[in-house]
Amino acid sequence: MPERSLIYAANWKMNHGPGEARAVAERFLSLTSPVKGRSLWFFPPAVSINVLAQATRNRPDIRIGVQNVHWESKGAFTGEISVRMAMEAGAHSALAGHSERRQLFGETDDQVAKKAKAALNLGVTPLVCVGETLAEREGGRTESVIMRQLGPVLEALEPPEWSRVVLAYEPVWAIGTGKNATPDDAAQIHELIRIELGRHGITGRVPILYGGSVNAGNVLSLLASPQLDGVLVGGASLDAEGWAELVGLS
């Protein structure tokens, strides 16, 4: 049986400008060492990517990513940044379709697919997020919503490209609310996603992370499920001590 690899991804959202990002990174580095089979990904605000990439350059287990990119390479898109720009700053991965982007900024399923494709085209790993709202869950639409979100991504990417994609299942009702999905709920959705990938000829294992109020108290029970390949964490990743403790638990 191949050894299990786990990804612990920190989404800092709109927290930690360059000065704070450096301080948190330095403290985190002093508290952790590389562990076989464990990758640590950080998604800081775009302005802090470079500082974080520099601070962590001697840690091969750490990868820096960007929280959002535009699919075009350049042009009149005020406020946006391209994949190449993020790469130049030090990003090797790009979140696409985080629920806050979808809900607060109107990002559509098609745009998420274009972002994922643009990232892949330049060798940047897309971390594509899907997940249902509370109303959708209560209306029995979890599965159809996730399939709808995945649809354009499945159309945009060729099956071999999926070996360079990571997915995250993040139920919107669990993000920042303190309510996490049960390990069984999460595992069930991960399994559905894998079945859908299989139906589209994607045969290799695509890592699927779980996100939504993960903390040091629940991470072990979530990761006990072999369906989870890691976690995507917001609030509990913001302070160096707490994040170091969480990633050190498994």
Which residues are registered as beta bridge partners of 96?
A: 128
Q: Which of 65, 126, 131, 212 binds ligand PEP (CB under 6 A)?
A: 212
Instruction: Name the residue with the smallest CB distance to ligand PEP.
Output: 234
Please say which residue, 44 or 235, places its beta carbon nearer to ligand PEP. 235
Whole-angstrom distance, CA of residue 49 vs CA of residue 165: 21
CB 28 within 8 A of CB 5: no
Query: β-strands 125-130, 166-169: how paired?
Result: parallel
Q: Which of 82, 93, 213, 227 binds ligand PEP (CB under 6 A)?
A: 213
Under rule CB under 6 A, residue 246 binds ligand PEP: no
Q: Which of 176, 198, 217, 226 binds ligand PEP (CB under 6 A)?
A: 176
Whole-angstrom distance, CA of residue 170 vs CA of residue 89: 27
# residues near ligand PEP by CB under 6 A? 14
Under rule CB under 6 A, residue 247 binds ligand PEP: no
Active site residue 136: no
Binding mask 3-32 for ligand PEP (x = CB under 6 A): --------x-x-------------------
Backbone angles phi, psi at 222, to 5 degrees: -65, -50
Residues 33 to 72 in contact with ligand PEP, rule: CB under 6 A: none
Q: 98, 107, 132, 136: which one is catalytic?
A: 98
Q: Which of 171, 183, 211, 230 binds ligand PEP (CB under 6 A)?
A: 211
Please say which residue, 122 or 207, places its beta carbon nearer to ligand PEP. 207
Q: Which of 52, 170, 222, 243 binds ligand PEP (CB under 6 A)?
A: 170
Active site residue 170: yes
Least distance from ligand PEP to the Cβ atom of residue 206, Å:
18
Give me the residues that bind ligand PEP (CB under 6 A), please: 11, 13, 170, 175-176, 211-214, 232-236
Q: Which residues are catalytic?
A: 98, 170
